[in-house]
Amino acid sequence: LTAVYFAFTGGHTTEILRLLSCLSESYSPRHYIFADSDKMSEAKIRSFEQKRSETFSNSQFTLDRIPRSREVRQSWTSSVVTTLYSILYSLPLTYKLKPDLILCNGPGTCVPVCISALLLGLLGIKRAIIVYVESICRVETLSLSGKILYHFSDYFIVQWPDLKEKYPKSVYLGRIV
Amino acid sequence: FRFKDSLAEDLRKADLVISHAGAGSCLETLEEGKPLIVVTNEKLMNNHQLELAKQLHRDGHVLCCNCSTLVETLRSMDLSTLKPFPPGQPEKFALFLDKVVGFQ
């Protein structure tokens, strides 16, 4: 059994739920982490899990909120501060959940969670596999989260061939959402 | 019409969709198999919306225009030139992930 983490928010939620749609029940329990300012994501996740529990009776999942690490177009310096604050929140949460796998797809919220997981790995507490899937919107350039996590993730998945050329360490599986 | 929770029903009944370049709007429309005209506004939009719209246009799945050329596009459009949009394949992702975590 693999404990799984998902970090996302907003429009990314639809994408990540599509990514999860074909995963077997071995990926359980599922822990969803999202920004505390996001209302719609919770409803979408519950609906997804509800449908899932109709097929798999032992489906387990949890929901956790963390402070949003960066607003759209927030300045660099203040982003560093808010991200550090988010790391303070996500570190104890990541420690508590001790995931085997972290799956994230782009929003700033995933950076502190991944950094927390890396720290736990470095400290020898728990080593998680970090899989990052760049959004389908990203055809030619990476998001800021993508640019950061390209260097820190174990597997970095892109959905368009141009990005595979520009970022050779990435994995291209075609369109997966 | 203010914000509805879901436009899915309206989408199913529509013959033509004119939309901004948001990924959700574009993909949902294309997946329903409806012809789509994407209206871009380079001053307002985030760059990443524009990337997807341009690529979909290049691949022949949507017609593109901006606010000032919309009327002209509607007059001269030929929707039969639009190519169908194959669905994404999350099963490929599931297979990949199974290998990565050793579930094979």
Report pLDDT digits (tens) over B94-103: 999 999 998 8
Question: Who among A24, A133, A137 is closest to B23 (CB)?
Answer: A137
**Which pLDDT belongs to residue B25?**
82
**Residue A100, pLDDT above cutoff 90:** yes
Q: What is the mean pLDDT of chain B?
A: 86
Nearest residue in chain A measured CA to CA from B24: A11
Edge-to-edge strand order for the sheet containing B36-40?
A: B17-19, B36-40, B63-66
**Which pLDDT belongs to residue A147?**
94
- pLDDT category of residue B2 using cuts at 50, 70 and 90: low
- pLDDT category of residue A5 using cuts at 50, 70 and 90: low
Nearest C-alpha neighbor of A6 from the set A83, A81, A114, A136: A114
Average pLDDT over residues A116-127: 93
Q: Choosing among B46, B93, B99, B104, which should be mutated to test the A contact, i.e. which has the most A CBs within 10 A?
A: B93
CA A126 distance to own-chain centroid: 17
**Residue A98, pLDDT above cutoff 60:** yes
Question: Global pTM?
Answer: 0.88
Question: If interface means Cβ-Cβ distance under 8 Å, which residues of chain B face chain A?
Answer: 22-24, 27, 47-49, 51-52, 54-55, 86, 88-94, 96-98, 100-101, 103
Contact B90 A176 (CB under 8 A): yes
**Which pLDDT belongs to residue A150?**
96
Average pLDDT over residues A103-108: 84
DSSP A170: S
Contact A139 B55 (CB under 8 A): yes
Residues of A with CB below 8 A from B27's CB? 136, 177
**Residue A134, pLDDT above cutoff 90:** yes
- pLDDT category of residue B3 using cuts at 50, 70 and 90: low
**Which pLDDT belongs to residue A80?**
83
**Which pLDDT belongs to residue A116?**
93
Which range (A7-16, A88-97, B64-73) has the least confidence? A7-16
**Residue A123, pLDDT above cutoff 90:** yes
Higher per-residue confidence, A5 vs A14: A14
Distance between B5 CA and the closest CA of chain A, angstroms: 10
**Residue A120, pLDDT above cutoff 70:** yes
**Residue A9, pLDDT above cutoff 80:** no
Q: How far apart are CA B12 and CA B29, in angstroms?
A: 9
**Residue A122, pLDDT above cutoff 90:** yes
Nearest residue in chain B measured CA to CA from A134: B48
Q: Choosing among A39, A137, A171, which should be mutated to test the B contact, i.e. which has the most B CBs within 10 A?
A: A137
Nearest C-alpha neighbor of A149 from the set A97, A95, A83: A83
Give ∠ CA A98-A103-A108 in degrees, rounded to 5: 100
**Residue A1, pLDDT above cutoff 70:** no
What residues pair up with A62 in beta bridges, in sequence order?
Answer: A31
**Which pLDDT belongs to residue A132?**
95
Q: Percentage of chain A surpassing pLDDT 90? A: 47
Contact B52 A137 (CB under 8 A): yes
Candidate ranges A22-31, A130-139, A165-174, B36-45; pick with highest mean pLDDT: A165-174
